[in-house]
Amino acid sequence: MPKASTKQSAQASQKSVEELVEELFKSSEDELLNPDIPFNKVIFLEKLPENFNKESKTAHDKFARLQGVGIPLFHRDGLVEARQALVKEFPYAVGIIDNLLKPTFRRMSAGKEGLVFEPTILVGEPGLGKTRLLSRLLEELDIYYRKISVAGMQDDQIFGVAKGYATAMPSIMSTVIHDKEIGNPVFILDEIDKAQESKFANVQHKLLGLLEKEEAMNWHEPYLQAPVNLYYVGWLMTANTLSTITEPLKSRCHIMRMPTPELQHIPQILNTIRTDLALDDGLDPRFIPGFDEAEKSALIESYAQHKSIRVLKRQVKEVLSLRELTLQ
């Protein structure tokens, strides 16, 4: 069975910062008593196979320098401030934000550095902003992440191809760890429910070993023909439905349902959308006037009908475009 879902509650959003921090810093006994987890580094690759240099000098030269070397785990101070900024931007998703941050708070309470995440599936109707929430969380934490749309993707594009094939390449995890020199990158697998299961595409199945910490510590990298340590790699997924996600995958993930913003949240969301659109156009948001009462009322009334952040963003674009036409 999947782990219990976490529902947004008004009570959670009303807790003081001090209460939330105290709650989040409560560590599980397992984490406090596990002496085998490195403090702030991870040895990604112990040793390449003896014949690896003969088979592929280019690949050998690329990864040889990582043999036996501790790769830093990215850490960010000011986690409480990051949380506050996210809650301000996503006031309707406080429970989700806190649950995503909880493993790192627990790790910090044990005196260890490094941002960590439980394998998570964020499920909800299209247009609620699931991918945006996860992206903004990682941007606010300033950790390297990569977003992958898995719909129609072949699994070797993520998990790599062994040497000897024309399409031989490392897994995307090994590539990122090598290129960015970070032991705990995060991957957002967008729309995991649309991952196709076929002879050439079995993303959900191949993920399973990476979500079991013991297996992730010795994951067989097909390209390197050697075990690599992906213990700290984060996996965050979005889905519109759980019906097409396999039971083994669900059982390995923390499943949370994306709440639908209430009407009282829309004024703040409108300001966030306005700011984002200005930045996308290379403009200073301070020079883009806020919404007048007529605009705000029309947008809120429309949202009450469609309940989609995606549609709301499109409508905000239309309102801003109408302003420009009026000024011409």
Last residue of a domain, one of 240, 257, 274: 257
Domain range for 319 is: 263-327
> What is the tens place of the pLDDT at every residue in 111-129?
888 999 999 999 999 888 9
Percentage of the chain exceeding pLDDT 90: 53
Three-state SS for 62?
Answer: helix
Distance (Å, whole) CA 2 – CA 254: 7
Residues 180 and 50 occupy one common structural domain: yes
Give helix 130-141 / helix 79-89 axis angle, nearest 10°.
Answer: 150
Q: Is residue 130 domain-resident?
A: yes
Asked if 255 contacts 123 with a C-beta cutoff of 8 angstroms, the reply is yes
pLDDT at residue 173 above 50?
A: yes
Residues 231 and 267 occupy one common structural domain: no
Mean pLDDT, range 146-167, rounded to an integer: 84
Last residue of a domain, one of 257, 282, 312: 257
Q: Is residue 215 domain-resident?
A: yes
Residues 172 and 246 occupy one common structural domain: yes
Number of domains in the chain: 2
> What is the tens place of the pLDDT at every residue in 16-57?
555 655 555 554 434 433 444 456 899 999 998 877 655 566
Residues 133 and 271 occupy one common structural domain: no
Q: Is residue 166 domain-resident?
A: yes
Distance (Å, whole) CA 71 – CA 30: 24
Residues 293 and 182 occupy one common structural domain: no
Residues 185 and 318 occupy one common structural domain: no
Distance (Å, whole) CA 100 – CA 98: 5
Residues 274 and 252 occupy one common structural domain: no
Last residue of a domain, one of 257, 289, 316: 257
Q: Is residue 5 domain-resident?
A: no
Residues 233 and 304 occupy one common structural domain: no
Residues 124 and 245 occupy one common structural domain: yes
Residues 249 and 187 occupy one common structural domain: yes
Q: Is residue 4 domain-resident?
A: no
Give helix 293-306 / helix 266-280 axis angle, nearest 10°.
Answer: 100
CATH classification at residue 238: 3.40.50.300
Q: Is residue 2 domain-resident?
A: no
pLDDT at 156: 85
Residues 243 and 281 occupy one common structural domain: no
Distance (Å, whole) CA 157 – CA 297: 46
Residues 146 and 241 occupy one common structural domain: yes
Q: How far is CA 262 from CA 10, 85, 91, 93, 184, in A?
A: 11, 19, 10, 11, 35
Q: Is residue 57 domain-resident?
A: yes
pLDDT at residue 11 above 70?
A: no
Q: Is residue 41 domain-resident?
A: yes
Mean pLDDT, range 72-100, rounded to an integer: 93
